[in-house]
C-alpha cells in the first residue's frame, strides 16, 4: 500500500501540492528529488543511462538559470542606481501616489529592498513614477 501523501517530504511532492509560498522547484529540491528517485529505483529495473544523463542536464540547466537570474538582477540594480545618480540635481516630474503630478529637483537616490527611491524636497518616489526629466535645477 502506498504511503499517504502527508508522509512524503515536500521536495518529493509535485510543485502544485507544496505549501503556499513555495511554488518554485529550486536547485536543492531538484537535487533531493533526483537522489530520492535513485535511492528508490528498482535494482532489477534501473533507470536507463539516458534518463540519468537527461536529469543531470536538467539539473545543470536549473543551476545555470539561477546564476543568470542573479546576474541579471545585479545588473538591473546597478543600472537603476546609475540612472538614479544621473538624475541628482535635475528637475523631474513624477506621478505622486495621490495621482497628482509633482515637480522638484532630485537631491539623492537610495536603493531599498531592490527598489530605487529618488528623494526631493517635495517627497520621495520610485524611479518608475517619473513622467519627465528636465534641465538641471537652478542653484539656490
How far is residue 25 from each of residues 2, 12, 51, 84, measured CA to CA in Å?
Answer: 24, 10, 19, 35
Task: Give residue-wise pLDDT tens across range 94-130.
Answer: 999 888 999 999 999 998 888 899 999 998 999 889 9
- Quote the pTM value: 0.53
69 and 90 in a single domain? The answer is: no
Together in a domain, 54 and 108: no
pLDDT in tens, 66-100: 889 989 988 988 898 899 999 999 999 999 988 89
Same-domain status, 68 and 103: no
Q: Are residues 28 and 58 in the same domain?
A: yes
Query: Residue 108 is part of which domain span?
Result: 86-136
Give me the number of domains the chain comprises: 2
Average pLDDT, the chain: 78
Domain CATH code at residue 125: 2.30.30
Same domain, residue pair 10 and 66: yes
Q: Does 17 share its domain with 55?
A: yes
Amino acid at each position: 500500500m502506498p504511503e499517504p501523501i502527508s508522509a512524503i517530504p515536500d521536495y518529493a511532492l509535485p510543485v502544485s501540492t507544496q505549501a503556499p509560498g513555495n511554488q518554485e522547484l529550486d536547485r536543492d529540491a531538484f537535487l533531493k528529488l533526483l537522489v530520492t528517485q535513485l535511492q528508490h529505483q528498482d535494482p532489477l529495473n534501473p533507470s536507463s543511462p539516458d534518463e540519468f544523463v537527461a536529469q543531470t542536464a536538467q539539473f545543470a540547466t536549473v543551476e545555470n538559470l539561477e546564476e543568470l537570474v542573479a546576474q541579471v538582477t545585479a545588473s538591473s540594480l546597478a543600472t537603476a542606481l546609475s540612472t538614479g545618480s544621473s538624475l541628482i540635481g535635475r528637475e523631474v516630474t513624477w506621478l505622486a501616489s495621490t495621482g497628482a503630478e509633482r515637480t522638484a529637483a532630485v537631491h539623492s537616490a537610495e536603493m531599498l529592498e531592490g527598489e530605487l527611491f529618488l528623494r526631493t524636497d517635495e517627497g520621495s518616489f520610485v524611479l518608475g513614477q517619473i513622467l519627465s526629466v528636465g534641465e538641471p535645477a537652478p542653484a539656490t
